Amino acid sequence: MTHPRAALVLLLVLSLCVPLPAVAAERAYGAEDFRNDVLVMIDGMEMALDRAARDPLVGPEVSRVLLASGMALPFPDSIRDAIKSATSEEMAQAQREFTTLPAMLKVPGLIDEALRELHTTVETSRAAGLCETNYDAFTSFKSKRSAVRGISATNNVLGITMRISSMIKTIVGAGTEDVPYVGRNISIPFIVLVGVQDIAINVLTLVADAISTSKDEDELSIDACCVDPQESQILSGRGCDNRDNDCDGTIDEAGEDLYSPTLKVDTSVFDRCYPTASEAQEAVVFAVSAADDCSDNAPVVQFGVAGCTGTANVQVADLNQNMATADYYLTVDDQAPALAVPQLSACYATIGDARNDIERTVVSDCTATLVDVGAVPSECAAELSVVAEDECGNRSSFLDDVVVDGTPPLVDIQTLLLPSVDGRFCFASPSQAISAIENSTSISDNCTPLSDLNLLTTTTGGPVCDMTVTRSATDGCGRIGQETLPVRIDSSPPSLSCSVASPTLWPANGSMVDVGFNLTVGDRCDPYDEIDIVVTVTSDEPTALARQTLSGNDPFPDAQLIRGADGNVETIMLRAERSDYGPADGRVYRIRVVATDSCGLESQTDCWVEVPRELSRGQGVNSGQKYRADRQN
């Protein structure tokens, strides 16, 4: 683990920049002043090194020096945060160890001064043609440069400014004087400080080397001696121009060529879809070209397809096997879209329902979309269609016909054709009822022929003798139309019996006598109060003529029917009399009862009462029931 103080020292050393501001005379320069100056130093060194790294002549080499030294631009915020968060005690300790801070702050200015000198020297070199006239001077400068780089990291930091100035003067002025320095024992913070300071020396050395128009191929990529005086163009790294581009005294066209070919491509080739991989590869071959100063080799295209993406790997090499490579991506699709059409119903209630189903079609493809969904209606039907097309023009389609029918069959039982009694439809048996209803039912459908309808007759039981008959029809879409009719199943008339308590009236004195009429009525289907009962009394002798008198006012009628609260006859009064004229064989009354149920089925029965001629002579003789006994005749 790094000692906190050593870490802080390292951060402080990394900030080599910006002169210290003047300290007010009225107070001592303390740890907080030192902290503020260090933060300013960080900003200054960061800007100075950034300017060197972006210099068009030595920028790439400066960046390499910084990278090799572990110095990144811009400085991370953690460097400043560490200084800001250090305690006052830590800053005071750093202040005591870094007494050389004022001298080190001059380094950024020296870097800027050296850069300016470099650009001035380059222009001078171009005018003088040093690549041709000062090659010998270039060789002698190498030893001077090596002497500068050999300066020990343990040199006295106090001599840095003088050392760097002397270095610049020695190299630029091609002098031979030594670079002075003062050696001394230093602490670990000073060793760290000097190590970082050497980064700045290396940068200055790099700039000075460029000024001296020298070349070290391992460290420099730009040299003034390799600038074409006529074209004002940097030649280092170029080849095939019949020049000594690497300044080694020989011309090696291939070996001097350090630049890779450049690839150019017509980007419009990527704006379309290709139906096959071969077409896509051919398009890339025509769209890609290469440029190089030593070679006119054509690019080599290798093509592969994964899914719907084609990858073109393009490579080209020059004479020195400098390689340029790039990958380009194109859409390749040689398959028609796959349509996943949902399960369609055989019948739809509306055309909208049919369209909703077909619109749920799913397309499986790289680039395809549904371009058309159709639902064309016709009578009781619709033509459903789907068309999908991808970017390559591949198309898929689906077509199917479905039935559109939202109306059930019409079922109409024509009751006028059925037998009825007071609105009630009566039949002797269920089969008779079913047959009659089937024969009187009208059935039709707007889409399904009658012969294709599924016809059905069903019955459900109700109260005794009652039944419901349903006639239904199902069309091809499963829609059901029906009509229901209640009917009465009754084949039996009411049961009926009557009796009289006095079947013989005597004496025949003309009085009205209650004969004790009793009636019993029953029906399997109808209750008593729904049975129609009709009672009539007839006689074989006319009324009021039983005994001829001078006044002719014999009473009449000879029968009186007394009804109860329900309107039916409960009591029958008959006159006890018979005629003394004609056959004079006695009188016979007939009480006839007719009972009719709700289906019109009827039954009848008779009760008999006689008035004999003479009681001793036995029964009266029925001469024919010709006269209504309840009226005058």
Per-residue pLDDT of 227-243, as tens digits, reads 444 444 456 666 777 77
Amino acid sitting at position 91 = M
- Would you state the pLDDT for residue 71? 66
Task: Pull the structure tokens for residue 510.
Answer: 């003309």
Pairing of strands 587-596, 338-340: unpaired
Report the range of poorest mean pLDDT among 357-371, 438-452, 500-514.
357-371
Measured distance CA(493)–CA(489) in Å, rounded: 12
- Would you state the pLDDT for residue 293? 78
pTM of the model: 0.47
Q: Is 582 exposed, middle or buried (0-12, 13-18, 19+ CB in 10 A)?
A: exposed
- Would you state the pLDDT for residue 162? 37
Longest dimension (CA), the chain: 198
Enter the DSSP assignment of 630: T
Average pLDDT for 621-625:
89
Structure confidence by residue, pLDDT tens digits, 233-275 = 456 666 777 776 666 667 777 777 778 888 998 888 888 888 8
Higher pLDDT residue, 403 or 51?
403
User: Phi, psi (5° rounding) for residue 50?
Assistant: -65, -40
- Would you state the pLDDT for residue 610? 94
Q: Characterize 78-106 residue by residue with b for buried, 16 or more Cβ atoms within 10 angstroms of its Cβ, and e for exposed.
A: ebbebbeebeeebbebbbebbebbebbbb
Q: Are 45 and 19 in contact (CB under 8 A)?
A: no
Average pLDDT for 358-363:
88
Q: Are 596 and 494 in contact (CB under 8 A)?
A: yes
Structure confidence by residue, pLDDT tens digits, 427-451 = 999 999 999 999 999 999 999 999 9
Q: Which residues pair with residue 124 across a beta bridge?
A: none
Task: Pull the structure tokens for residue 383.
Answer: 């033509």
Task: Pull the structure tokens for residue 210.
Answer: 């460029």
- Would you state the pLDDT for residue 1? 38
Q: Which residues pair with residue 497 across a beta bridge?
A: 520
Task: Pull the structure tokens for residue 542.
Answer: 């006319």
- Would you state the pLDDT for residue 546? 46
> Would you tell me how many other CB atoms lie within 10 Å of the CB of residue 246?
22
Structure confidence by residue, pLDDT tens digits, 369-398 = 878 888 898 889 999 999 998 888 888 999
Listed residue (12, 179, 41) closest to 106, CA to CA: 41
Residue 74 pLDDT level (bands cut at 50, 70, 90): confident
- Would you state the pLDDT for residue 206? 67
Higher pLDDT residue, 398 or 62?
398
Q: Give the up-direction half-sphere exposure of residue 87: CA atoms within 13 A in the CB hemisphere.
A: 5
Looking at every residue in the chain, the average pLDDT score rounds to 75
Q: Are 468 and 480 in contact (CB under 8 A)?
A: no
**Residue written as tokens 């074409």?**
228
Helix (H) or strand (E) holding 274: strand 273-274
Measured distance CA(160)–CA(169) in Å, rounded: 14
User: Phi, psi (5° rounding) for residue 156?
Assistant: -65, 120
Report the range of poorest mean pLDDT among 14-18, 127-131, 363-367.
14-18
Measured distance CA(453)–CA(88) in Å, rounded: 103
For residue 6, pLDDT over 70 is answered with no
Report the range of poorest mean pLDDT among 231-240, 300-309, 505-514.
231-240
Tell me the C-alpha to C-alpha distance, in Å, between residue 568 and each of 501, 521, 571. Answer: 19, 11, 9
CATH of domain 495-628: 2.60.40
**Residue written as tokens 């419901």?**
468
- Would you state the pLDDT for residue 22? 45
Helix axes 107-128, 160-172, angle to 10 degrees: 0
Residue 335 pLDDT level (bands cut at 50, 70, 90): confident
Measured distance CA(503)–CA(612) in Å, rounded: 11
Amino acid sitting at position 96 = R
- Would you state the pLDDT for residue 122? 61
Measured distance CA(518)–CA(514) in Å, rounded: 11
| Omega cis (within 30) before 409 | no
For residue 604, pLDDT over 90 is answered with yes
For residue 141, pLDDT over 60 is answered with no
Higher pLDDT residue, 598 or 202?
598
Report the range of poorest mean pLDDT among 70-84, 159-173, 314-328, 619-633.
159-173
Structure confidence by residue, pLDDT tens digits, 82-92 = 777 778 887 77
Listed residue (147, 151, 141) closest to 197, CA to CA: 151
Helix (H) or strand (E) holding 587: strand 587-596
Q: Characterize 520-544 residue by residue with b for buried, 16 or more Cβ atoms within 10 angstroms of its Cβ, and e for exposed.
A: ebebebbeeeebebebbbbbbbbbb
Pairing of strands 532-539, 569-575: unpaired
Measured distance CA(384)–CA(367) in Å, rounded: 24
**Residue written as tokens 């210099």?**
55
- Would you state the pLDDT for residue 246? 64
- Would you state the pLDDT for residue 237? 65
DSSP alpha helix (H) spans, 129-228 = 130-133, 135-149, 160-172, 188-211
Higher pLDDT residue, 34 or 465?
465
Higher pLDDT residue, 303 or 51?
303
Pairing of strands 262-265, 288-291: antiparallel
